[in-house]
Amino acid sequence: MLPGVGVFGTGSTARVLVPLLKAEGFEVHALWGRSEEEACCLAKELGIPFHTSQSDDVLLHQDVDLVCIYIPPSMTRQIAVKALGIGKNVVCEKAATAVDSFKMVTAARYYPQLLSVMGNTLRFLPAFVTMRQKLVEGYVGELQVCDVRVYGPSLLDQSYGWTCEELMGGGGLHTVGSAIIDLLSYLTGARAHRVHGLLRTFVQQNGLIRGIRRVTSDDFCFFQMLMGGTGSGSVCCTVTLNFNMPGSFVHEVMVVGSTGRLVARGTELYGQRNGSKGEELLLDDSGWVGPEVKEMPLPHLRGLSSMVKALRQSFQAHEERRSWARGPVAMAPTFEDGLYVQTVVEAVKRSSCSGEWECVEIMSQEPDPNHNLCEALQRNKN
Amino acid sequence: MLPGVGVFGTGSTARVLVPLLKAEGFEVHALWGRSEEEACCLAKELGIPFHTSQSDDVLLHQDVDLVCIYIPPSMTRQIAVKALGIGKNVVCEKAATAVDSFKMVTAARYYPQLLSVMGNTLRFLPAFVTMRQKLVEGYVGELQVCDVRVYGPSLLDQSYGWTCEELMGGGGLHTVGSAIIDLLSYLTGARAHRVHGLLRTFVQQNGLIRGIRRVTSDDFCFFQMLMGGTGSGSVCCTVTLNFNMPGSFVHEVMVVGSTGRLVARGTELYGQRNGSKGEELLLDDSGWVGPEVKEMPLPHLRGLSSMVKALRQSFQAHEERRSWARGPVAMAPTFEDGLYVQTVVEAVKRSSCSGEWECVEIMSQEPDPNHNLCEALQRNKN
């Protein structure tokens, strides 16, 4: 039986998610927005019976068994941890810092019977599901290189907000890079141990963000990750993110191995084995019918839709509406994956400051908050 | 009046060059090959009256006024410097080391009345000539990012030789990266001051190179250059070279600025200004009729052809067959440019070893040869 859903957030993802949930048979009972007005407006638009700006009203709502959290990264940890504490299943977006991610991991470990997945959606995209399968089957031979490019228009909101602020979780690396970092660990079955990166904010002010306000979040980022193995045995991943390209959207993930290569362009998958004359189309995803959303690139939209389907399958398997089966969502990123991704993001940022390769060291205990404060102050200086 | 030409080399470039020279009206009088046999064979094939394996026989040949040197990098310096000393005009490929390049610069400075250009051909490709012009005209606004990708099949020769040896000037960075480094400085009008890179040799042995022999030259290389200005004012260039992709050839150079972007795919140029709906084709080079050569990618072939045309114009302007006009070859890379390129190549290699950003410092005097020997020994250890 499908659980009742409560949604946090009134942004573009929440706006897309609700219809997808409904299409799969979920009932969305409650919506939270930062202001009463935003919540009211979107609830009316999407036909959600209850709305509020008090998080507890959703978390304690008796019909809500599954909480979907798509809000600014800096607020995610608080809601996610509280939701688990109250006994609700959680799907959420990334947090703002590794410390926050670590707290979420702690909570998820404490409530293993509750569903806790990162709403990172690229893993669910059929092109990447097939790509992973082909990699496992040995289509490319020994994996050597992954090369990812995402180009698009600015990620900044219309008005000044968290998307402009690096420390609030804004920027291409945090917003889009996170999804790529997660995807690459899913595809390769390995984790980055060393990273190198360079971040830039080319557009620091625009027509809407001016005066004393400046954008600090990156609009250009490239980073390299050495994954699995060490030395020459490791896989080299290069990722280029450029969000100074209005009017374009490029989303290309290529993996190259000793005997062939695979490349996902948008939602389609192509492959070529060494010795063959040309690329073969391995997955044509163009037949997909679903909403077209201007703010959300098709791979993310399509992935979100597949994730919602997986959630439906997971919950449908059980009679009790809070129970779920692990199978259909086994490929979803866990909160541990979220911590890993956040750790890589922070290592790339460190590398951009230091100019050096930085090690990816996953936090194993919560840092002393005072020490953390000092670090935050230091980072502010840069 | 056009000068008589002597060609050094029997590789794929020399094989393509001779017909191009002839088509423009140059007479090729002499061919040098490493062995008498190779020279004889190719001379017969291309209809060159004289061949030899003694370099002096070409350099001192009385009908030879222009020497074209397309031989392994480690031999280039010796021939080029000697040719200038004998009073011949020189077009040549890159040398193997910065020290060699420096010696070539010294010779070129000593004989300023002689033509001395690097036979790096991408600058002459019409797509890049137009791209540069558009950049100067402000098509992209303030330049932010250059992104270059070259993918193709292995660069290794059929048998073990210099292409397999990093120290002999083999590898993707040295062979193809050089041309890209030169091109980017031509396009941006700036030079790299800091670089970061990663080199890999994924294929260390193959069916033909085995036993105790190992390839040491890179078949994958990723590097970044900060060009012009310093700090946030600099242009970020990222270059990805991957020669583990048989059956494919990708040659893409993209420049992104504050108001638009330009991208050369193969020999065609596209552009898009911010606010416009799609790309516009700025230069369709598909009408070109010329030889198709399997070993040489079209942009290089097409560029080589344009360079030969420019050489013809340069020499045609004068009655005396050794005299030439600067105008038509003004855009050609000088030996000073060659030294710069070689310095960047070596800085990228250093960075790949150290893992750090390396400064690009152009040699201003010849290093102590003993010191140099020590360095070479140290490099061999890695």
Bridge partner list, B27: B4
Same-domain check for residues B309 and B321: yes
Span B2-16, pLDDT tens digits: 999 999 999 889 999
3-state secondary structure of A160: coil
Taking contacts as CB-CB distances below 8 angstroms, the residues of chain B near A242 are: 145, 147, 256
Span A155-186, pLDDT tens digits: 877 777 888 888 888 888 999 999 999 999 99
Q: Amino acid identity, residue B237?
A: C
Span B287-331, pLDDT tens digits: 766 666 667 888 989 999 999 999 999 999 888 877 899 899 999
Same-domain check for residues B106 and B226: no
Alpha-carbon distance B18 to nearest alpha carbon in chain A (angstroms): 30
Share of chain A above pLDDT 70, in %: 93
Whole-number Å distance between alpha carbons of B347 and B202 = 21
Same-domain check for residues A163 and A271: yes
Q: Give the Cβ contact number of residue B374 at 10 Å.
A: 10
- Nearest residue on chain A to B247, alpha-carbon basis: A277
Taking contacts as CB-CB distances below 8 angstroms, the residues of chain A near B196 are: 196, 198, 355
Q: Beta strands of chain A (E only): which ranges? A: 4-8, 27-32, 50-52, 66-69, 89-92, 116-118, 143-151, 192-200, 220-227, 235-242, 250-257, 260-265, 268-273, 280-283, 358-359
pLDDT confidence band for A317 (50 / 70 / 90) = confident
Q: Amino acid identity, residue B40?
A: C
CATH number for the domain spanning A93: value is 3.40.50.720
What is the structure's pLDDT at B268?
A: 94
- Of A243, A260, A284, the residue that ends a domain is A284
pLDDT at A53 over 60: yes
What is the structure's pLDDT at A271?
A: 95
Nearest 10 degrees: Cα torsion B28, B33, B37, B38 = -80
DSSP letters, A216-272, are -S-SEEEEEEEESSSGGGSEEEEEEEE---TT--EEEEEEEESSEEEEEETTEEEEE
A235-254 residues touching B, CB cutoff 8 A: 236, 238, 240, 242, 244-248
What is the structure's pLDDT at B154?
A: 84
pLDDT confidence band for A124 (50 / 70 / 90) = very high
Q: Taking the mean position of all CA atoms in its chain, how far away is CA A221?
A: 17
Identify the weakest region by mean pLDDT among A94-103, A224-233, A270-279: A224-233
Same-domain check for residues B193 and B55: no
Contact A128, A100 (CB under 8 A): no
Mean pLDDT for B160-183 is 87
> Which residue, among B220, B223, B230, B235, would best test binding to A if mutated, counting the most A CBs under 10 Å from its CB?
B220
Whole-number Å distance between alpha carbons of A6 and A58 = 6
Query: Is B203–A258 a contact, with Cβ atoms under 8 angstroms apart?
Result: yes
Whole-number Å distance between alpha carbons of A9 and A304 = 15
Among candidates B150, B240, B116, B237, which has minimal Cα distance to B185?
B237
Write the burial class of residue B325 (CB in 10 Å: 0-12 exposed, 13-18 middle, 19+ buried).
middle
Taking contacts as CB-CB distances below 8 angstroms, the residues of chain A near B200 are: 144-145, 232, 236
Residue A373 lies in a domain: no
Identify the weakest region by mean pLDDT among A66-80, A206-220, A282-296, A323-337: A282-296
Among candidates A358, A345, A379, A335, which has minimal Cα distance to A172?
A345
What is the structure's pLDDT at A153?
A: 86
3-state secondary structure of B261: strand
What is the structure's pLDDT at A223?
A: 96
Q: What is the CA radius of gyration of chain B?
A: 20
pLDDT, averaged across chain B: 90
Q: Amino acid identity, residue A237?
A: C
Same-domain check for residues B109 and B209: no
Say which of A147, A258, A355 has its CB closest to residue B240: A147
- Nearest residue on chain A to B151, alpha-carbon basis: A256
Say which of B145, B244, B258 has its CB closest to residue A242: B145
Query: Is A220–B145 a contact, with Cβ atoms under 8 angstroms apart?
Result: yes
Q: E strand or H helix at B134, and its extent?
A: helix B126-137
Whole-number Å distance between alpha carbons of A26 and A4 = 6
Query: Is B145–A247 a contact, with Cβ atoms under 8 angstroms apart?
Result: no
What is the structure's pLDDT at A170?
A: 84
Span B346-380, pLDDT tens digits: 999 999 999 999 999 999 888 776 666 666 666 66
> Which residue, among A140, A144, A273, would best test binding to B if mutated, counting the most B CBs under 10 Å from its CB?
A144
What is the structure's pLDDT at A372?
A: 61
CATH number for the domain spanning B157: value is 3.30.360.10
Domain that holds residue A138: 123-284
Whole-number Å distance between alpha carbons of B330 and B335 = 13
Residue B206 contacts A where some CB pair is shorter than 8 Å: no
Nearest 10 degrees: Cα torsion A202, A206, A209, A213 = 50
> Which residue, among B146, B193, B216, B242, would best test binding to A if mutated, counting the most A CBs under 10 Å from its CB?
B242
pLDDT confidence band for A288 (50 / 70 / 90) = low
Residue B222 contacts A where some CB pair is shorter than 8 Å: yes
Contact A311, A76 (CB under 8 A): no
Residue A366 lies in a domain: no
What is the structure's pLDDT at B231?
A: 60
Predicted TM-score (pTM) of this structure: 0.89
Whole-number Å distance between alpha carbons of A306 and A329 = 11
Span A208-254, pLDDT tens digits: 777 778 888 888 999 999 998 766 668 999 999 999 888 888 999 99
Residue B351 lies in a domain: no
Q: Give the Cβ contact number of residue B34 at 10 Å.
A: 15
Mean pLDDT for B64-83 is 95
pLDDT at B234 over 90: no
Span B81-140, pLDDT tens digits: 999 999 999 999 999 999 999 999 999 999 999 999 998 789 999 999 999 999 999 999
Same-domain check for residues B148 and B189: yes
Share of chain A above pLDDT 90, in %: 69
Residue A289 lies in a domain: no
Residue B274 contacts A where some CB pair is shorter than 8 Å: yes
pLDDT confidence band for A291 (50 / 70 / 90) = low
Alpha-carbon distance B260 to nearest alpha carbon in chain A (angstroms): 7
Query: Is B247–A274 a contact, with Cβ atoms under 8 angstroms apart?
Result: yes
Whole-number Å distance between alpha carbons of B175 and B155 = 9
Instruction: Give residue for tokens 């979907």.
Output: A68
What is the structure's pLDDT at B371?
A: 64
What is the structure's pLDDT at A34?
A: 92
Residue A211 lies in a domain: yes
Same-domain check for residues A170 and A319: no
Among candidates B145, B214, B143, B185, which has minimal Cα distance to B345?
B185
- Residue B49 backbone class (left: φ over 0; alpha: ψ -120 to 50; beta: rest): alpha
Identify the weakest region by mean pLDDT among A305-314, B62-71, B205-214, B232-241: B205-214
Residue B232 contacts A where some CB pair is shorter than 8 Å: yes
Instruction: Provide the residue count of chain B.
Output: 382
Contact B9, B18 (CB under 8 A): no
Same-domain check for residues A103 and A129: no
Q: Taking the mean position of all CA atoms in its chain, how far away is CA A140?
A: 26
Whole-number Å distance between alpha carbons of B379 and A40 = 67
Mean pLDDT for B10-23 is 93
Residue A361 lies in a domain: no
What is the structure's pLDDT at A201?
A: 87
Long-range contacts of A129-134 (CB under 8 A, 24+ apart): A129/A331, A130/A269, A130/A282, A130/A283, A131/A187, A131/A253, A131/A255, A131/A262, A131/A264, A131/A269, A132/A186, A132/A187, A134/A262, A134/A271, A134/A282
Same-domain check for residues B171 and B313: no
Same-domain check for residues A70 and A140: no
Residue A376 lies in a domain: no
Residue B345 lies in a domain: no
Same-domain check for residues A129 and A247: yes
What is the structure's pLDDT at B288?
A: 67
pLDDT at A30 over 80: yes
Whole-number Å distance between alpha carbons of A288 and A123 = 17
Same-domain check for residues B265 and B149: yes
Query: Is A200–B144 a contact, with Cβ atoms under 8 angstroms apart?
Result: yes
**Cα Dmax for chain A:** 61
pLDDT at A206 over 90: no
Give how many domains chain B has, as a whole number.
2
Span B207-233, pLDDT tens digits: 777 777 888 888 899 999 999 876 666
What is the structure's pLDDT at B156?
A: 79
pLDDT at A257 over 60: yes
What is the structure's pLDDT at A359?
A: 95
